[in-house]
């Protein structure tokens, strides 16, 4: 498979380097560094002694999290040198007031929003899987001015129910999530930059605490200094947001010394003063997701060839290794969703924008996702470098990213090995009804990770394979007036599946329509035997039975020339004469070749390297030769046509269509075709769109070939 390097970091770069700005930043870092010497002062000043956290994530329709380029406000600032994470931060991490606020550790914090279906509201036993719950959303009444805050009407009963659970589960912490992405985040800059509005905001937060009995707030301001564009709406933003973000938390801490304060941070480490805000918060929720869209992972733990802007490990290193944020002040972000190719591609996409774990049952066992047909692009593929799965086709091309038990286990293990405060999850409703991923997080955190199950090993849980049944046969004589198509020796579908490519074994390439009409397309004097197509590029590959025993590449879209820079020569068939290269088929980025002599099957890489060869007679003793073959990537099956009548060789079936598994190692079924394809059947092509297999009869020079449409059920 071919992959391209990951895209450049989509976050806008920072370019402001004034001395004032640098001095201001340096001053903050020095202030934090002096905390170790000021523990006595911190003990008497609760407003300057605690840490906070926050978790951002997509809202009703999750955003990509990749920040568009061209940020006019937040230029790249100097990154502070890493600070010793044990000194002076111990004064903050181990402050008794902070520890009392955050409660149980390690933290398992989950987001529960008003978009969740009512019937999914968890029982008290389900809630015990979490230590903290962020309930959303709270937003500004006037987003243009940043005045007034209100809890969403659907959120109010959710908050009340979760707070009521504290009577049965006193250790549970319930917070409100404030803000969001895009226009849902607007109002923050306008409020935070105005002392009067900040005071009003803090007072309203205090009133909410008193009214609902919550334990704190999770600030989801995406992002300070960045004027996010959401459709035609552009958020208010200011260069002063960077400073005002810290000021806001300082004033919230002073007013709410006993409440948890957290915020959601971009995994780029930009937009927020993650060092300057440490004295006022309890922890940071790092959004280690939304790092790319297909063909890149949404949230790869480590960098692989299909990692986008960054991987989770790189993101955590930005905070800890470069900015010096202690692990004990960070939660690792877990996404219960991924992105489909429909996130950016709205025409011709196979998946919708968001691919939640809850959709895997339909994807794997019904071949659908939100009503879209994903058959053939729903293979589970594990990236062992990135430690995440993805959904792809038989050749390994990614169509959707997602998470499952194995990737969750790896990420929780990472958080534990790095002694992080815990993990946060976006979001509850993206899990399936059984709570598979929620339980996996809890069990992994407790040291008893779940084993892969139904949705991690779908091939082990599929119903027994229902094999095809042959039905009606329609015969077309390839003759138009006085023109005939003689000696048909190969067939394959066009790239769009709307006609057949066929070859005459004297060197002509034909377009053959499903009604039996045809036209010549290209000619090159050669002995053509077998044709196949690269489904990604549309390039055609034609086997040569002549002395060269090789293959042509005929490039799309013109199909009127041979690529002289491409060649594969099949080894081991030199002495087979015209019984050498007889069939050719595309197979997961490689090429299969079949021979008449010995019914041999070869697989070659595109660079001409032979991977293996074997005789199909070692699989079934009834096959005489390979007249043609076709690999069905949708079903991972190999169709082989035996073109010999075998009248004088009773040990062979003759005129038989063989169905093998994808690598030809197991015979699944045979179909006798000699009742209709009984001249010299040398071409076969699978066509799922028309629920049929096309078989071509080479009726010798001077006679029109026959084309048979053989209909199948369960194809």
pLDDT the model gives residue 121: 97
How far is residue 667's CA from residue 35's CA, in Å, rounded to a whole number?
73
Question: What is the pLDDT of the chain when averaged over all its residues?
Answer: 87
Whether 37 shows a pLDDT value over 60: the answer reads no
**DSSP 8-state class, residue 401:** E
19-59+73-287 maps to CATH 3.90.550.10: no
Q: What is the mean pLDDT of residues 419-425?
A: 98
Per-residue pLDDT tens digits for 441-450: 999 999 999 9
Q: What CATH topology corresponds to 469-713?
A: Neuraminidase (2.120.10)
DSSP string for 448-496: -PPPP-TTTSGGGTSPPPPPPEEEEEEEEE-EETTEE--SEEEEEE-TT
Distances (CA, A) of 410 to 47, 150, 336, 405, 447: 37, 38, 14, 9, 12
For 48, 196, 236, 548, the CA distances from 251, given in Å and listed in that order, are 10, 12, 22, 81
Closest CA to 143 of 215, 23, 237, 76: 237
SS3 content of the chain, % helix, strand, coil (to 5): 25, 30, 45
CA distance 301 to 695: 48
The pLDDT tens digits for 211-233 are 999 999 999 999 999 887 777 77
Cα atoms in the Cβ-side hemisphere of radius 13 Å centred on 617:
14
pLDDT (average), residues 249-267: 98
pLDDT at 586: 95
Instruction: Find residue 594's DSSP bridge partners.
Output: 583, 601
Q: Which residues of 509-548 are buried (b: 16+ CB within 10 A; e: fewer)?
A: bbbbebebebeebbeeebbbbbbbbbbeeebbbbbbbbee
Question: Any idea where the domains of the chain sit in the sequence?
Answer: 19-59+73-287, 469-713
Confidence of residue 578 (pLDDT cuts 50, 70, 90): low
How far apart (Å, rounded) are the C-alpha atoms in residues 134 and 65?
Answer: 19
Task: Please say whether the beta carbons of 206 and 255 come within 8 A.
Answer: yes
Residues 6+ apart with CB under 8 A from 140: 146, 147, 148, 149, 150, 186, 187, 188, 191
| pLDDT score recorded for residue 619 | 95
| pLDDT tens-digit readout, 582-608 | 899 999 899 999 998 899 999 999 999
Mean pLDDT of 562-590: 83
The per-residue pLDDT for 547 is: 63
- Whole-model pTM: value is 0.63
% of the chain surpassing 90 pLDDT: 73
Kindly state the percentage of the chain with pLDDT values over 70: 86
| Lowest mean pLDDT across 73-77, 164-168, 589-593 | 73-77
Helix locations, 193-272, DSSP H: 195-212, 241-255
Distances, alpha carbon 488 to alpha carbons 475, 540, 695, in Å: 14, 16, 10
Do 19-59+73-287 and 469-713 come out as alike in CATH topology?
no
State residue 634's pLDDT score: 82
């Amino acid at each position: 498979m071919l992959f391209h390097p990951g895209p450049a970091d989509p976050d806008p770069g920072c370019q402001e380097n004034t001395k004032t700005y640098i001095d201001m930043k340096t001053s903050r870092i020095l202030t934090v560094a002096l905390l170790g010497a000021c523990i006595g002062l911190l003990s008497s000043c609760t407003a300057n002694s605690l840490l906070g956290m926050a978790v951002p994530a997509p809202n009703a329709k999750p955003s990509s999290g990749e920040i568009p380029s061209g940020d006019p406000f937040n230029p790249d600032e100097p990154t502070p040198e890493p600070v010793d994470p044990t000194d002076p931060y111990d004064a903050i991490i181990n402050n008794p007031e902070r520890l009392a606020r955050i409660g149980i550790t390690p933290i398992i914090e989950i987001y529960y929003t008003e978009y969740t279906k009512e019937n999914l509201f968890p029982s008290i036993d389900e809630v015990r899987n979490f230590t903290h719950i962020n309930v959303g959303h709270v937003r500004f009444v006037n987003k243009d001015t940043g005045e007034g805050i209100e809890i969403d009407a659907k959120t109010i009963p959710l908050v009340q129910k979760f707070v009521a659970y504290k009577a049965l589960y006193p250790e549970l912490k319930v917070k409100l999530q404030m803000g969001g992405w895009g226009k849902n985040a607007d109002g923050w800059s306008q409020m935070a930059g105005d002392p009067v509005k900040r005071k009003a905001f803090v007072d309203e937060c205090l009133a909410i605490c008193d009214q609902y009995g919550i334990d704190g707030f999770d600030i989801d301001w995406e992002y300070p200094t960045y004027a996010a564009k959401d459709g035609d709406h552009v958020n208010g933003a200011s260069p002063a947001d960077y400073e005002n973000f810290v000021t806001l938390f300082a004033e919230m801490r002073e007013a709410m010394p006993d409440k948890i304060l957290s915020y959601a941070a971009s995994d780029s480490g930009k937009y927020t003063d993650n060092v300057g805000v440490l004295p006022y918060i309890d922890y940071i929720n790092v959004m280690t997701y939304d790092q790319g869209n297909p063909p890149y992972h949404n949230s790869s733990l480590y960098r692989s060839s299909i990692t986008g802007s960054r991987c989770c490990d790189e993101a955590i290193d930005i905070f800890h290794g470069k900015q010096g944020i202690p692990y004990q002040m960070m939660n690792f972000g877990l996404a219960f969703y991924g992105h489909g190719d429909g996130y950016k591609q709205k025409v011709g996409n196979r998946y919708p924008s968001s691919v939640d774990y809850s959709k895997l049952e339909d994807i794997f066992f019904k071949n659908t996702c939100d009503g879209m047909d994903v058959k053939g692009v729903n293979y589970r593929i594990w990236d062992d470098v990135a430690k995440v799965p993805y959904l792809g086709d038989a050749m390994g091309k990614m169509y959707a990213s997602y998470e499952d038990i194995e990737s969750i286990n790896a990420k929780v293990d990472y958080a534990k090995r790095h002694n992080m405060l815990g993990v946060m999850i976006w979001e509850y409703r993206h899990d399936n009804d059984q709570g598979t991923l929620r339980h996996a997080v809890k069990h992994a955190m407790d040291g008893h990770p779940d084993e892969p199950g139904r949705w991690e090993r779908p091939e082990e849980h599929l119903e027994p394979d229902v094999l095809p049944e042959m039905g009606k046969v329609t015969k077309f004589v390839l003759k138009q007036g006085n023109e005939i198509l003689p000696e048909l020796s190969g067939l394959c579908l066009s790239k769009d599946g709307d006609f057949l490519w066929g070859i005459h074994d004297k060197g002509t390439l034909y377009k053959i329509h499903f009604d039996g009409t045809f036209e010549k397309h290209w000619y090159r004097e050669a002995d053509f035997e077998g044709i196949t197509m690269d489904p990604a590029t549309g390039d055609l590959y034609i086997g040569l039975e002549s002395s060269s025993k090789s293959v042509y590449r005929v490039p799309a879209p013109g199909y009127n020339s041979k690529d002289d820079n491409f060649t594969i020569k099949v080894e081991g068939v030199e002495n087979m004469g015209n019984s050498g290269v007889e069939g050719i088929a595309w197979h997961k980025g490689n090429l299969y070749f079949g021979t008449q002599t010995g019914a041999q099957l070869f697989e070659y890489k595109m660079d001409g390297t032979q991977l293996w060869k074997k005789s199909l007679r070692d699989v079934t003793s009834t096959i005489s030769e390979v007249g043609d073959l076709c690999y069905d990537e949708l079903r991972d099956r190999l169709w082989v046509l035996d073109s010999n009548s075998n009248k004088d060789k009773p040990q062979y079936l003759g005129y038989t269509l063989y169905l093998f598994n994808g690598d030809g190692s197991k015979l699944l079924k045979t179909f006798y075709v000699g009742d209709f394809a009984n001249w010299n059947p040398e071409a076969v092509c699978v066509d799922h769109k028309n629920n049929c297999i096309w078989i071509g009869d080479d009726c010798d020079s001077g006679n029109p070939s026959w084309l048979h449409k053989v209909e199948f059920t369960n194809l």
